[in-house]
Structure 1
Amino acid sequence: MNKRIKRILKITGITILSVILIFAGVFTGMFHREVRTLNSIEKLDEHPLYTMEYKGDYGMDEFLEVGACNDQELVKFVVDRLLKGLPLEINIPSLGCSTFLAKNEESDGYLFGRNFDLNASPGMFVRTQPEDGYASISMVNLGFIGYGEEKLPDNMKDALLTLAAPYAPLDGMNEKGLCVGVLLIDTEPTNQQTEKIDITTTTAIRMLLDQAATVEEAVELLKQYDMHSSANSCYHFQIADVSGNSVVVEYIDNEMKVVRPEESYQAATNFLLTPGDYDFGKGQDRYAILMDTLEEQNGIVNSEEAMDLLQAASQDPHRTDDGDISATQWSVVYDMETLSATICMGQDYENTYTYSVEEPEK
């Protein structure tokens, strides 16, 4: 090979390398927050359980200007705003769960317990810090955004869809100690139709975690929007704050109802709690376990007893009416004073993990 050809090849190689470096620099500049977010993913448990630090702006303020009245509209917003056109399908099946609020025996604070019951579900704790909102941690069932046994976010390529996770929380706690959990109700889907901005089940949770410091603020926020149930189902929310205030928010005939406890503690499962002929649904046995135990202990438990109570109300694998195998996928105790969450996956109550609202020091 003569010197002239070698020189041409060398120049060509340098040019190609320069183009690649420029492209990589442009990509990093455009998507550096997304890349940092994906690089933050850690796998804690083989059930599995992941954690992720969301580094960018997921556009909640922008979303609340337009809203979404169904999952398809939410998907369109997330695809356009966060996933840069990457296809996404949000699928929220029937889920049976339990929540409760109790005073923490170990401090002057309160504990918020949550069982999430469904078929096999990979989970992810997502920590967010919006510029104009409260920092929070929330649990996401990755199955809702396309993950499962055959696809998990174990590499950069397969992790891309986790960028949608801020819009799919099922329970969580923010830096003010506000906690929220959503539970299925076997009744007509909520579909409010007024002139208000529309929100869906999971976007309501995201909004509350980002913007509400107290139960009363949360209730007033929900009143400002038209609620539309995800997945053509109906849900209610238990919301609690650091003062020990707690409510269950339900929608009956598209009218918002607020159920306040008679005692210092409160629980919810999968039937309506609004007084009247509404107490149909499932989970009365789990509700009795929660309330009877809390009554016996005057609504006061320590963190270990709180997890024991979730274990007592957990569901072993069983076949649902749809033919699926359902069980408690995770049990989590939110400590509203320390702003931390202790979680066990797959009913493995001997092994727990603790995750904090505060970002760990690097």
Structure 2
Amino acid sequence: MEEQAKSSKSGRARKIVVRVLIALVALVVLAVAGIAFMFRNEIATVASIKKVNDYPFYTMTYEGDYGIDEFIAQGGASNDAELIGFVVQHLMKGLPITIELPDLACSTFNATTSEGDAIFGRNFDLSYSPSMLVRTDPADGYASISMVNLGFLGYGEDKLPDSPTSSITTLAAPYAPLDGVNEAGLAVGVLLIDTDPTNQQTDRVDITTTTAIRLMLDKCATVDEALDLLEQYDMHSSANSCYHFQIADASGDTVVVEYVDNEMSVLDPDDVTTAGQPAAGTTYMAATNFLLTPGEYDFGTGQDRYQIVTEGLGATDGALSEDEAMSLLAACSQEPHINSRGEESQTQWSVVYNLDKQSATIAIGRDYENVYEVSLRE
């Protein structure tokens, strides 16, 4: 009888242990499921990353809400540190990141194909770094594709988004676009101006260089809408530098927006009289790394590239096929050289956006024989 009692107690103890273990496993499963549900968009975004080539160049589709409306509602950001603070708390779940825009020696222009499609060309010149095409589709905004230099997010030869853990920082990519096109046919590119940083100080909400691009791509269908948007905010340059934007839309309209002494200056093709610019009455224009706003300036670079582009546009009265636009980008691209920071620099990507088809043709690292084509309609 005593042995039976001991056996019975032992059996009950084992059952209790088993039940406890089952309960713990169930709790763990529920916790994992809860975390997976909570981070489902982030997980799906990271899982969408694809490596296109070995330069390397990646693509990513951002799933879910990256909080641009919340960013504006809480006052925006007047500097990179404030932007990073928002991104860390709202996208990175507290994980630290850096966003830094160094010297950008770039070129942009718009043109029209023989079929009447508006196109927008852009060279992005910088020291070597991986790049990423980012797809976004906000619930309250336009879907877009935009190019991001991953070096601004801390990536490089020793760190690439090739694993789930190393890819987490790419969740900040929607806040670091440098050029792009949206489903309404609006395109924008940003270029460096080597002068005092823009630092507007009024009672308007604050934005930085890349958040301005994000807002234009998300909220604007036309150049006029983009200008109205920019006038609603105080602009603060990223990385203690100054920048200007070229903006174009599917109607063929285009402007260059500059900030001179913290005042917004808007130029259309008729306003530009810089040497090499075609005669007034055209519907196209170009920009590199010097101010187009009339005045006496002793700063800025890229006049040689500007001349190549404007002469190429002038020779055809602004009519270029997408292939010809890419050839013009190749003609003004930069071969490897040592830049002002003592770093080897070259054209990292050349992209031709078709604003009517909302598509992009991209050449990475001056490899114009192997281009990547993508469309928002896919």
The normalised TM-score by structure 1 is 0.96
In structure 2, which of residues 36, 50, 58 is the aligned counterpart of residue 50 of structure 1? Answer: 58
Give distance in 1, aligned partners of 2:158 and 2:130: 11
Residue 120 of structure 2 corresponds to residue 101 of structure 1: no
In structure 1, which of residues 268, 273, 285 is the aligned counterpart of residue 304 of structure 2? Answer: 285
In structure 2, which of residues 69, 79, 86 is the aligned counterpart of residue 70 of structure 1? Answer: 79
Give distance in 1, aligned partners of 2:314 and 2:79: 39
Q: Is the 8 Å Cα contact of residues 102 and 301 (structure 1) preserved in structure 2?
A: yes
State the match for 1:85 in structure 2.
94
Cα deviation digits, residues 106-126 of structure 1 (max 9, x gap): x21111000000011111111
State the match for 1:196 in structure 2.
204
- Percent identity between matched residues is 59
State the match for 1:240 in structure 2.
248
Q: Return 5+ residue gaps in structure 1 as ranges.
A: none
Task: Give the match's secondary structure for 1:301.
Answer: coil
Residue 287 of structure 2 corresponds to residue 252 of structure 1: no
Shift of 1:10: 4.3
Q: Is the 8 Å Cα contact of residues 318 and 326 (structure 1) preserved in structure 2?
A: yes
- Whichever residue aligns with residue 47 of structure 2, its letter is N
Task: Give the match's secondary structure for 1:332.
Answer: strand
- Whichever residue aligns with residue 223 of structure 1, its letter is E
Q: For 1:343-358, list aligned pairs within 5 A.
A: 343-358=362-377
In structure 1, which of residues 128, 153, 156 is the aligned counterpart of residue 136 of structure 2? Answer: 128
CA gap 1:111/1:279 in 2 versus in 1, 3 angstroms: farther
Tell me whether 240-249 or 142-151 shows the greater mean CA deviation.
142-151
- Tell me the number of residue pairs that the alignment of Structure 1 and Structure 2 aligns: 357
Q: For 1:330-341, list aligned pairs within 5 A.
A: 330-341=349-360
- Whichever residue aligns with residue 54 of structure 1, its letter is Y
After the TM superposition, which segments of 4 or more aligned residues of structure 1 sit over 2 Å from their partners?
2-17
Give distance in 2, aligned partners of 1:278 and 1:248: 17
Residue 166 of structure 2 corresponds to residue 158 of structure 1: yes
Q: Is the 8 Å Cα contact of residues 123 and 140 (structure 1) preserved in structure 2?
A: yes
Q: Is the 8 Å Cα contact of residues 271 and 279 (structure 1) preserved in structure 2?
A: no
Q: Is the 8 Å Cα contact of residues 178 and 209 (structure 1) preserved in structure 2?
A: yes
Q: Is the 8 Å Cα contact of residues 100 and 114 (structure 1) preserved in structure 2?
A: yes
Shift of 1:17: 2.6
Q: Return 5+ residue gaps in structure 2 as ranges.
A: 1-6, 271-281
Shift of 1:19: 2.5
In structure 2, which of residues 314, 330, 336 is the aligned counterpart of residue 295 of structure 1? Answer: 314
Cα deviation digits, residues 86-123 of structure 1 (max 9, x gap): 11111111111000000112x21111000000011111
Q: Is the 8 Å Cα contact of residues 273 and 279 (structure 1) preserved in structure 2?
A: no
Q: CA RMSD in A?
A: 1.4
- Whichever residue aligns with residue 22 of structure 1, its letter is L
Give distance in 2, aligned partners of 1:9 and 1:142: 51
Task: Look at both structures and tell me which one has the larger radius of gyration over its CA atoms.
Answer: 2
State the match for 1:145 in structure 2.
153
Cα deviation digits, residues 104-154 of structure 1 (max 9, x gap): 12x211110000000111111111111111111110111111111111111
- Whichever residue aligns with residue 342 of structure 2, its letter is G
State the match for 2:289 in structure 1.
270
CA gap 1:39/1:60 in 2 versus in 1, 3 angstroms: same
The normalised TM-score by structure 2 is 0.92
